[in-house]
Amino acid sequence: MAKILTALREQRQIEAEIQRLAASRTQAEFEQRARWIVSQDQALPALLNSVNSADTRLLGVLGSLATLLDRDTVVNALYQAGVDRRRPKRGRLIALLILERFLDEELDEELFEGLEDPEDLAIQSLLNTVDKAEASRLALLDLIHSLAEQPPGVVLSVVDTLVNLDTPAAVEPLRALAQDPRDEVARHAIRGLGTLRYPQTIRALQILRYVSPPNVQHEVERALRKQRLRGLEIAPLPRPDGTWRTLVSAVDGQGNQSVWFLGQADAEGTCPLLTVVVDYEVGITDALGDEQAPAHQFPAAQPIGTVHEYRPGNVGLLRLLEADFEYGRRLVSDAQARNVRSGAPTPLVYRLLNDFIWGYQVTSDTTGPLMPSCAENGAPARPANSGRLLDHPDFATWFVQSQMVYDLAAQLRQWRHPQHTTLWSEAVHQLVESHFDERALSAYRTRLREMAEWLTHAGDEEAACLALAAADGLLEVAPTEHPLLVRMVDVGLRVAIRNLQYGFDLRTAPELFAGGV
């Protein structure tokens, strides 16, 4: 009996975690929670119990979890749930929809007879969510997440329902859906916005000018023209008014950079927050947002150019540059363009809250990146000194880590002082040759030039010139002769040996190597 009660308690705990999973603010947080849930013994019973009361908001969550469980086991269990007439009709429908939409199982139409229409289910969930979203737009996050997993036909019906509501409350969910990576969904949502006669609609369409990919931009302009022809005033967005702070991290060793936008604190000490993570190959890869973040958690405002040492929670030290609003927006805009090229969709939180930064006019200033004076006077630093960059605190994560690095580190650590052997130099040479092909060299040249600008904004001209010299040197010398690349491998080997000595072997978690060198 004790074992049964323990199992039931665990199942209830996992069901509660599934509900919390739906409230995840970032994709990384969602994935971390999902991996924990599916690792539990009671994960499948909890999933099967959750289908009974799920709506389309939770459908996407349950479907994502199902794809992480053993396929044969979960398919059989969901099929049994779908045909079990003792279950509520809602539970049977959700089980069948997971099988069909997330596990790609072909089901007979007869199985759906007598159950709710999936589109009616989505619309019912939508109406409840729109009501909640008037208090907080993040209430829309679960809905948008679940719709991202739905067939386009279902999403188009949701768009039509939002338009037919004919209320200002429909504008924000439509603006988010207008950024859907599926062209037909984005176009339909933009056209729907073009029929709503509210001031909020004009603002939403003008924001979409800045965040929509080129292939749907004409739909945005057409919708604005229709509004103008109907007699609505197309007032320009306000100019940036200095109410938003911008904090920018250095580019890390995997080519990631975070841009933090913080609004003014209110009387309760909370402020709006949007943190955007950009990757210099993929584009915007993650976002964290809050309409009421505790303002005291962030570094106090300082003059532009100040570098803060910020410790968010227990995740280590993050150095953040107090920066100009337009510099932060340009980094995000450039990253959006990379999303279009790479085909990677922008994060859902970013689509919901990007009006924090794009709800203001963008100036037509064509000034390029801010670079150190050595870039103009023709007196750059020498590439031979570029290895010194790794002594700089903002290059602390610039070292190579990979399966191959750990394999060689495991061999070299058997020696008492491996750094003083020819085996070490041979290993470094081998790793440089294998890790720095043309694509990697191009990526590092971009990262170094971005760091040169960041360091210039921070007032560190010497390091900025050294970063520029390192970037230029990638075009001038072979990788095995480039001091920065050689030292990045050398440091990577030392880190790997130290980690192995303490029992921390990244080869047991290969996903940590996903960021590349």
pLDDT in tens, 375-398: 777 655 677 789 999 999 999 999
Do 153 and 83 fall into the same domain? no
Instruction: Look at residue 237 and tell me if it is in a domain.
Output: no
pTM: 0.79
Q: Which residue matches tokens 């009501």?
A: 131
Give every CB contact of residue 176 below 8 A, 6+ residues apart in sequence.
140, 144, 348, 351, 352
Residues lower than pLDDT 50 in the chain: 1-5
Claim to verify: residue 91 and residue 140 sit in the same structural domain: no
186, HSE (Cβ side, Cα atoms, 13 Å): 20
Q: What pLDDT is attached to residue 420?
A: 77
Q: Is residue 110 part of a domain?
A: yes
Is 225 found in the same domain as 253? no
- Same domain for 503 and 404: yes
Residue 161: the pLDDT is 86
What total number of domains does the chain contain?
Answer: 4
What span, in angstroms and rounded, lies between the C-alpha atoms of 504 and 91? 43
Whether residue 320 is found in the same domain as residue 351 = yes
Encoded tokens for 85: 């007439």
**Final residue of a domain: which of 326, 358, 390?**
358
Q: Considering the domain boundaries, does residue 57 fall inside one?
A: yes
According to the model, what pLDDT value does residue 340 have?
96
DSSP secondary structure, 23-87, as one string: T-SSHHHHHHHHHHHHTSTTHHHHHHHHGGG--HHHHHHHHHHHHHS-HHHHHHHHHHHHH-TTS
With tokens 């052997």, the residue in question is 421
Q: Which two tokens stand for residue 267?
A: 């009387």
Place of tokens 């750990």: 406
- Show Cβ contacts of residue 11 under 8 Å, excluding neighbours closer than 6 positions: 42, 45, 46, 49
Do 496 and 405 fall within a single domain? Answer: yes
Helix, coil or strand: residue 292: strand
- Are 107 and 158 in the same domain? no
Question: Do 263 and 209 lie in a common domain?
Answer: no
- Residues 35 and 133 placed together within one structural domain of the fold: no
Calpha distance 485→434 (Å, rounded): 12
Strand 270-279, strand 283-294: pairing: antiparallel
User: Are 441 and 385 in a shared domain?
Assistant: yes
- Would you state the pLDDT for residue 313? 65
Does residue 435 lie in a domain region? yes
Say whether both 283 and 177 belong to one domain.
Answer: no
Domain assignment present for residue 239? The answer is: no
In this structure, the answer to whether residues 307 and 319 fall within a common structural domain is: yes
Cα separation, 173 vs 162, in Å, equals: 8
Q: Residue 344 has what DSSP assignment? A: P
Full domain range(s) for residue 338 = 245-358
Of 195, 229, 263, the last residue of a domain is: 229
